[in-house]
Amino acid sequence: MFRDFFNDPVLYLSFGILGLTVILMAFYTWYFISNVMNSKQEEK
């Protein structure tokens, strides 16, 4: 299985792009949550 993985560029490029997408999703989730936690409350 690993031999096919390293010999097939479509396979490792698709997994690479999928991994990059997951990393970006995790980063933006962390970024959003950290900004919400650190935002100042508006007092009226």
Please, are residues 35 and 42 in contact by the beta-carbon 8 Å criterion? no
**Within 10 Å of residue 11's Cβ, how many Cβ atoms?**
12
Residues 6+ apart with CB under 8 A from 6: 12
Instruction: Kindly give the confidence (pLDDT) of every residue in the chain, 44 residues in length, as a single tens digit, with 9 standing for 90 and above.
Output: 667 777 888 888 899 999 999 999 999 999 999 999 888 766 55
| pLDDT score recorded for residue 9 | 84
Q: How many residues make up the chain in this entry?
A: 44
